[in-house]
């Protein structure tokens, strides 16, 4: 794209790398092992930030969707699709790590915890919305539909969460997913993980948006090259 | 150290997923950049031939 | 005023077309019937008390049959070139949405009215309860409100049959949960006060998503 953009990206990547190293140290060396769950509890420091980044990504997509419908600037559509893709990636990580964590602790591969279940439902939806983009032929329509889907999807997140939580308080299940006490060192470690994952999100977003930009450049060039035949 | 393998599995999954994603977008980026360069060169050649 | 006349015209058109062919309604009815019967069969063999799963079966049947109706309401438009025709009329885009929504709700309610007695017989549950009808109406409106918007988009894609279900079901999860829970409570004979939370959730969902769908529809129909 341009040299200035490149140097920003490189600094961002560098910063992320640093954050990863710090977080790794905090998660695996610094923070004490939790008493009841043992070392498996350390999954928590990756599981929660992944879920957070998923939520953040879908929020960004929501804003980008509104911005696109209002301004019709292609770059908003690029941000939106990129953010949803990355959101799905991190939601997948949240779901899988949640499942892996649940197995040794609660002896089940899945818990109907409201946050986890909401993540699953929204995962299905956002994957479907990415699929829809693939089967729409017109570019303009793709962007418009994508924007509407991002908006509708995100509005639904609190509603789904609320519905599931209501369902579960009336039918309480045996365990909750916050099964331990937070010691002070844990808060710091969690915070550092959150920052790291957010930085990682930003890196991936910038790189992914660039791909969208390159892709549109390619189409534009293709359009130009057609009438050049004599 | 019980349940170590669960921790390991979760951790491995995260890194695999993230790097797999980075790899696929890097591939896409390369392919796109190649196509753009090829197109640009083709266009320059055509302009060179005189239109 | 013109808004409501437009809505009425669209509803009248859809109803008239359906009265002639009766294709959509019969497809919806048969499909829902199949779901109810098959589930009854499948669970009778394993579950002690089929009444426990009855609410879930009912709403699965309604949801799947509803998808059928939603799909058809736009596929037929598309095939006849009706959408373009509608857009040329001096009718507000939002009137098209409301007209389609009313039509879809109507069709679903008719299908549901026919399914309920059969459901009552197969699962041995009491259905002559206005509270139950209220839940069904609210649930149907919520489902159709989002469904109409999503169907309008899904129909414009290459994979039109598969896109609507996979988009609609996640969004409709709150409706399904609330409707199933309150249906269960009502069928179990619990006092209505227990169901208030769910009814409020349904109402809130209906209002929020009808408004959003209304706003979003303008952008779907642009051409």
Task: Test C174 with A162 for CB contact under 8 angstroms.
Answer: yes
Q: Across the strands, what pairs with A38?
A: A34
Asked if residue A62 has pLDDT above 90, the reply is: yes
What are residue A47's phi and psi, to 5 degrees?
-65, -50
Higher per-residue confidence, C49 vs A174: C49
Overall residue count recorded for chain C in this entry: 223
B9 contacts on A by Cβ (under 8 Å): 100
Give the Å distances, CA to CA, from A111 to A27, A105, A215, C29, C57.
24, 11, 41, 36, 23
Residue A229 in this model has a pLDDT that exceeds 60: no
| Number of domains present in the structure of chain C | 1
**Residues 1 to 51 of B: which have CB under 8 A from any A CB?**
1-4, 6-7, 9-11, 13-14, 17-18, 21-22, 25, 28-29, 32-33, 35-36, 39-40, 42-43, 46-47, 51
Residues contacting A122, CB < 8 A, separation 6+: A54, A58, A91, A153, A156, A157, A160, C170
For residues A150 and A63, the answer to whether their CB atoms sit within 8 Å is: no
pLDDT for A38 equals 80
Q: Is the pLDDT of residue A175 over 50?
A: no
| Per-residue tokens: A65 | 């969707």
The dihedral sign for the CA sequence C71, C72, C73, C77: positive
Q: Which chains touch A (3 or more CB pairs under 8 A)?
A: B, C
Residues of B in contact with A223 (CB under 8 A): none
Mutate to test the interface with A, among C154, C171, C177 (most CBs of A within 10 A): C171
Distance CA C102, CA C87 (A): 18
| Cα separation, A79 vs A87, whole angstroms | 12
Separation CA A167–CA C178 (nearest Å): 8
Asked whether the beta carbons of residue C178 and residue A163 sit closer than 8 angstroms, the reply is yes
pLDDT for A109-157, tens place per residue? Answer: 888 888 889 999 999 999 999 999 999 988 899 999 999 999 999 999 9
Q: Which domain holds residue C91?
A: 2-221
Lowest mean pLDDT among A173-182, B17-26, B31-40: A173-182
pLDDT at B25: 93
pLDDT digit string, tens, across residues C62-96: 999 999 999 988 888 877 777 777 777 777 888 89
**From the candidates B5, B15, B18, B46, which should be mutated to test the interface with A, based on the most A CB atoms within 10 A?**
B18
Rounded to two decimals, the pTM is 0.91
Residues 6+ apart with CB under 8 A from C203: C138
Cβ contacts of C107 within 8 Å, gap of 6 or more? C14, C18, C24, C25, C28, C69, C73
Among positive and negative, which fits the CA dihedral C134, C140, C143, C149?
negative
The distance of A99 to chain C (nearest Cα, Å) reads: 20
Joined together, the tokens standing for residue C111 give 């299908």
Q: Are C136 and C144 in contact (CB under 8 A)?
A: no
Residue pair A171/A117 in contact (Cβ under 8 Å)? The answer is no
pLDDT at position A171:
56
- How far apart (Å, rounded) are the C-alpha atoms in residues C171 and C149? 12
Asked if C202 reaches chain A (Cβ–Cβ under 8 Å), the answer is no
Cα–Cα distance, A63 to A79 (Å, whole number) = 10
Q: For C8-49, what is each residue's pLDDT tens digit?
A: 888 998 898 888 888 889 999 999 999 999 988 888 777 777
Whether B29 sits inside 8 A of A214 (CB atoms) is yes
Q: C19: distance to nearest CA of chain A, Å?
A: 32
Nearest CA to C106 out of C154, C129, C146, C73 is that of C73
Per-residue tokens: A64: 């980008």
pLDDT digits (tens, 9 = 90+) for C158-212: 887 889 999 999 999 999 999 999 999 999 888 888 789 899 999 999 999 999 9
Q: Distance from A108 to chain B by nearest Cα, in Å?
A: 13
pLDDT at A105: 84
| Res A172 pLDDT > 80 | no
Are chains C and B touching, using the cut-off of 8 Å on CB pairs and a minimum of 3 such pairs?
A: no
Q: What is the DSSP string of A97-151?
A: HHHHHHHHHHSSS----HHHHHHHHHHHHHHHHHHHHHT---HHHHHHHHHHHHH
Tokens of C138: 């609210």
Between chains, do A162 and C177 touch, taking CB under 8 Å as contact?
Answer: no
Asked if the Cβ–Cβ distance from A221 to B10 is below 8 Å, we say no
Q: Best residue in A166, A169, A170, A171 to probe C by mutation, most C CBs within 10 Å?
A: A166
CB-CB: which of A132, A148, A166 is closest to C201? Answer: A166
> Does the beta-carbon distance from B3 to A218 stay under 8 Å?
no
Give C201's contacts in chain A (Cβ within 8 Å).
Answer: 159, 162-163, 166
What SS3 string covers C128-178? CCHHHHHHHHHHHHHHHHHHHHHHHHHCCCCCHHHHHHHHHHHHHHHHHHH
**Preferred mutation among A13, A27, A97 to probe B, highest tally of B CBs within 10 A:** A97
Comparing alpha-carbon positions, the chain A residue that sits nearest to B21 is A89
Tell whether A21 lies on the interface with B, counting CB pairs under 8 A. Answer: no
The reply to whether residue B3 touches residue A97, judged by beta carbons under 8 angstroms, is no
Q: Which residues contact A158 (CB under 8 A, 6 or more apart)?
A: none
Residue A204: list chain B partners with CB under 8 A: 21-22, 25
Place of tokens 């031939």: B49
Report which secondary-structure segment, H or E, holds C28. Answer: helix C23-44
More confident residue, A172 or B4: B4
């Amino acid at each position: 794209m341009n040299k200035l953009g490149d140097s920003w990206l490189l600094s961002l990547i560098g910063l992320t790398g640093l954050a990863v190293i710090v977080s790794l140290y905090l998660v695996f060396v610094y923070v004490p092992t939790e008493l009841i769950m043992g070392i498996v509890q350390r999954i928590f420091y990756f599981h929660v930030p992944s879920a957070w980044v998923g939520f953040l990504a879908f929020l960004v997509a929501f804003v980008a969707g509104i911005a696109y419908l209002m301004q019709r600037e292609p770059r908003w559509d690029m941000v939106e699709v990129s953010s949803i893709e990355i959101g799905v990636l991190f939601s997948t990580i949240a779901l899988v790590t949640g499942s892996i964590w649940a197995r040794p602790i609660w002896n089940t591969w899945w818990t109907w915890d409201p946050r986890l279940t909401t993540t699953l439902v929204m995962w299905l939806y956002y994957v479907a919305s990415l699929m829809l983009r693939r089967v729409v032929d017109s570019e303009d329509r793709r962007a418009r539909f994508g924007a509407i889907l991002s908006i509708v999807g995100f509005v639904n997140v609190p509603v789904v969460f609320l519905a599931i939580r209501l369902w579960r308080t009336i039918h309480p299940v045996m365990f909750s997913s916050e099964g331990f006490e937070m010691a002070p060192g844990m808060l710091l470690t969690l915070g550092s993980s959150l920052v790291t994952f957010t930085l990682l999100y930003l890196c991936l977003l910038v790189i992914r948006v660039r791909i969208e930009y390159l892709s549109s450049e390619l189409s534009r060039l293709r359009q130009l090259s057609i009438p050049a035949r004599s | 150290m019980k349940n170590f393998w669960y921790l390991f599995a979760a951790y491995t999954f995260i890194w695999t997923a993230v790097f797999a994603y980075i790899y696929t977008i890097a591939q896409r980026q390369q392919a796109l950049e190649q196509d753009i360069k090829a197109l640009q060169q083709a266009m320059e050649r055509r302009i060179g031939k005189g239109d | 005023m013109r808004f409501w006349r437009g809505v009425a015209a669209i509803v009248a058109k859809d109803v008239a077309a359906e009265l002639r062919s009766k294709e959509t309604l019969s497809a919806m009815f048969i499909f829902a019937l199949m779901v109810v019967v098959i589930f009854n069969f499948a669970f009778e063999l394993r579950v002690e008390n089929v009444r426990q799963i009855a609410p879930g079966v009912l709403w699965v049947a309604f949801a799947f049959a509803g998808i059928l109706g939603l799909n058809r309401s736009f596929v037929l438009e598309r095939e006849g070139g009706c959408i373009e025709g509608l857009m040329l009329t001096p009718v507000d885009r939002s009137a098209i949405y409301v007209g389609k929504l009313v039509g879809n709700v109507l069709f679903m309610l008719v299908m549901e009215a026919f399914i309920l007695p059969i459901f009552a017989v197969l699962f041995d549950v009491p259905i002559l309860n206005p509270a139950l009808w209220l839940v069904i109406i609210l649930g149907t409106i919520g489902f159709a409100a989002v469904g109409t918007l999503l169907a309008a988009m899904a129909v414009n894609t290459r994979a039109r049959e598969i896109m609507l279900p996979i988009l609609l079901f996640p969004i409709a999860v709150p409706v399904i949960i609330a409707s199933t829970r309150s249906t269960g409570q009502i069928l179990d004979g619990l006092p209505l006060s227990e169901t208030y939370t769910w009814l409020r959730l349904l109402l809130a969902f209906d209002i929020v998503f009808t408004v959003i769908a209304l706003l979003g529809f303008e952008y779907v129909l642009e051409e």
